[in-house]
Amino acid sequence: MAPPVYRLLHGVLLGLLAAAAGADGDATNKVDTCIVGAGAGGLQLAQLLLNAGRDFVLLEREAEAGSFYSRFPVHRRLISLNKRNTGRDNAEFNMRHDWNSLLGSDVPRMTTRTKERWPHADTLVEYLHEFAAPIAAAGKLLYGSDVLRIERLPPAADGAVGLLELTVAQRAPASGDADSSLRRLVCTVIAMAHGLGVPNK
């Protein structure tokens, strides 16, 4: 679960959105980059955009970051390397042998959290939660945000490619599947970082 303070902030944000939406409960906002999915890929892109001072929002339909790893792999042992000692002093070389840590953050890396070469998945979940916390604190990560539809808007008057509109159902993280409100986001770029759409059979 997301930390209580972020659940509280998220609830306040939902309230502000609902107030701005008016009677139909439909709010529209513009943002440069929309990232869908707060797994490792989405978090990494979000952190780099945050460091660069870019305009973005990270949308996650679950109540926590990295929710995939809370369930999978079912045997709870990662197959990604956690090599703590490479025999080298080169930081970049060493990072290439750390297959679990992300870039651009002061959050302690996975290699400092466990001595196991093939870490337990729960260790990665804890790491991703900590990595996501500053992004959420900056108001850039919205939990309980399910992207229902993506549409291309008509081209601009100057012939420029039309922007992208996302219809997002937002709910408080503790409210289960009950939709609290609809929000429409207009984005220049959408990064789909939600993983596989269907199981690999």
Mean pLDDT, 10 residues at a time, over the chain (201 residues)? 44 40 58 97 98 98 96 95 94 94 97 96 98 98 96 85 92 60 94 82 71
Instruction: Write down the pTM of the prediction.
Output: 0.81
CA-to-CA separations, 151 to 32, 61, 90, 168, in angstroms, rounded? 15, 19, 46, 12
Strands (E), the chain: 26-36, 56-60, 141-143, 145-152, 164-170, 181-192
Are the CB atoms for 167 and 190 separated by under 8 Å? no
- pLDDT at residue 82, rounded to an integer: 95
User: Is 188:177 a contact under the CB 8 Å cutoff?
Assistant: no
Radius of gyration (Cα) for the chain, nearest Å?
19
